[in-house]
Amino acid sequence: MDYMLSKNPSCPLCGAHRTAQCSPGMPVHPFDHLPWLAGTGCVVGPDTPEWTCRACNHSWGQMFPPDHPQQD
């Protein structure tokens, strides 16, 4: 588990290394038990964060930055 968490960036707010990459969609078992991934739900948009900290709950980044190609 420490190896998977070490691949993620540390939290810019508290410096913890227990961060999770946000993933769109509703979490299902056993996905909801993977500490290096965080489900964001089905509704995502330009303000959806890319990362979240499991230690302090700070979220940062953009899952879909402004230059991300979108399909209509």
pLDDT digits over 3-56, tens only? 666 788 999 999 998 898 888 877 666 555 677 778 777 888 888 899 999 899
- DSSP type of residue 67: T
Q: What share of the chain is helix, strand, coil (3-state, %, to 5)?
A: 10, 20, 70
> What residue spans define the domains of the chain?
2-60
pTM of the model: 0.72
